[in-house]
Amino acid sequence: MIYRTKAINAAAILMILTLVVLILVYGKPFFVPIAFAGLLAMLLLPVSKWLCTKGINNAVAILLSLLLFVGFLVLVVLFVSWQVSDIAENASQLEQQMMEKYQQLRGWLSTEYGISQEKQAQMLKEQQESSAGKASSVLTGIISGFGGFLTDFLLVLVYVFLFTFFRGRIKGFIVRLVPHSEKEKAVACMHKTQETAQQYLKGLLLMIIFLWVMYGIGFTIVGVKNAFFFAILCGLLEIIPFVGNLTGTALTLLMSLVQGGDMTLVTGILITYGLVQFIQSYLLEPLVVGSGVDINPMATIVGLVAGELLWGIPGMVMAIPLMGMMKVIFDHIPVMQPYAYLLGQDKKESGGLKKWGKIFKRS
């Protein structure tokens, strides 16, 4: 009878999870801005609280924290635009170098695979003709996508203000959902969830800044053109774990080769990447990000794939903090604790900095 009850509970949980997945997929336009706003509100909450301690009105403090965040984004966008304009000034030289690489590729294909250059030209012409009709639709999609992004961004800012301003009422609503005997546990769960998200997001922000500095210094030393642009690119892509840093480094390698880089430059970029990843994994990540999100690598990869399938790139960006919050919630619900165990990891598995601490103590 006990096993039958457990089987029924497990089946009910799976059905609920399936229903949740369906709701998240079909409700993506509604849930993605809300999820982003919730995480951003947790990130900016300490700033608005600090402003309130200085005697500033709560609503004004929230607006100021939002303005600080928007100002930071504007500075990043302006710097990236400046670097892109610098690349555009050398567009003619870049185009010439790309043509040289293209001619080398054509010669290699002709030599290695017996595809004549006339056949290659014909294939390229057919490809251009088939894609010519798609250019206008692609341009229209980009324009509409940019308009949708601005709308969602403004909506996220509005949500952040509302979530932060009415955070007390939201907490009161959640407390009223649970029995009176469970109220203290519910409040502790909310505080722990909020603390976990804040620790991860603040650590990630600091990590990105550190990566900008390290990649900028490394790329400048090895001689990468527009080093700070690629440093910012690699740092920003860090918001997508595992995939982001590899993508940024691959783009840096590709552009460096197109710009006339040799194997010495390629080796320098790879060495820079290796050193930065070593420092990040064993020093900065445990020190800056900490162990607030104790998600094991298996759950991380599965979560990233699931996030991409559900919500695309935004899902990959939010997968880790949302999974960390889910683990905290699952830890406080007895029937969900096996799922928290599946997501989590032992403390001894997560401490890169602890390893260094033991080494220093021995010495």
pLDDT tens for 5-16 read 767 777 777 788
The structure tokens listed for 229 are 């642009």
Measure the CA–CA gap between 46 and 13, rounded to whole angstroms: 35
As a whole number, the mean pLDDT across the chain is 77
Mean pLDDT of 270-283: 85
Task: Give the percent of the chain with pLDDT over 90.
Answer: 12
Residue 91 has pLDDT above 90, yes or no: no
Are 42 and 197 in contact by the 8 Å Cβ rule? The answer is yes
Tell me which of 43-47, 116-120, 177-181, 273-277 is least confident: 116-120
Query: What is the rounded CA–CA span in Å between residue 307 and residue 296?
Result: 16
* pLDDT surpasses 80 at 245: no
Report the alpha-carbon distance of residue 126 to residue 142 in Å, rounded: 25
Give the domain ranges of the chain. Answer: 30-91+157-165
The yes-or-no verdict on residue 65 having pLDDT over 90 is: yes
Q: What is the pLDDT of residue 360?
A: 37
pLDDT score recorded for residue 186: 86
Task: Report the pLDDT value the prediction gives residue 314, as an integer from 0 to 100.
Answer: 87
| Residues present in the chain in total | 363
Positive or negative: CA dihedral 298, 331, 203, 156: positive
* 110-153 pLDDT tens trace: 655 555 556 555 555 555 555 444 444 544 544 555 567 788 88
Max mean pLDDT range (27-41, 87-101, 175-189, 249-263): 27-41
Residues 6+ apart with CB under 8 A from 225: 256, 259
Under a CB-based contact definition with an 8 Å cutoff, are residues 235 and 247 in contact? Answer: no
- The burial of 11, by beta-carbon neighbours within 10 Å (0-12 exposed, 13-18 middle, 19 or more buried), is given as exposed
Q: Which of 194, 200, 201, 204 is nearest to 163 (CA)?
A: 194
d(CA 143, CA 149): 10
% of residues, the chain, pLDDT over 70:
72
Would you state the structure tokens that stand for residue 328, as one six-digit string?
Answer: 């905290």
pLDDT higher than 90, residue 64: yes
Given a cut of 90, is residue 159 above it in pLDDT? yes
CA distance 104 to 97: 11
**Predicted pLDDT of residue 164:** 92
Give the mean model confidence (pLDDT) for residues 196-217.
Answer: 87
Q: Which two tokens stand for residue 268?
A: 């320098």
How far apart are alpha carbons 315 and 78 in whole angstroms? 26
Q: Mean pLDDT over residues 218-243, rounded? A: 83
- Give the pLDDT score at 103: 58
Residue 283 DSSP code: I
pTM (whole model) above 0.95 = no
Local structure of residue 291 (DSSP, 8 states): T
Give 147-169 as a DSSP string. HHHHHHHHHHHHHHHHHHHTHHH
Instruction: Check pLDDT > 70 for residue 299.
Output: yes
Which amino acid does the sequence have at 350? S
For position 114, what pLDDT does the model report? 56
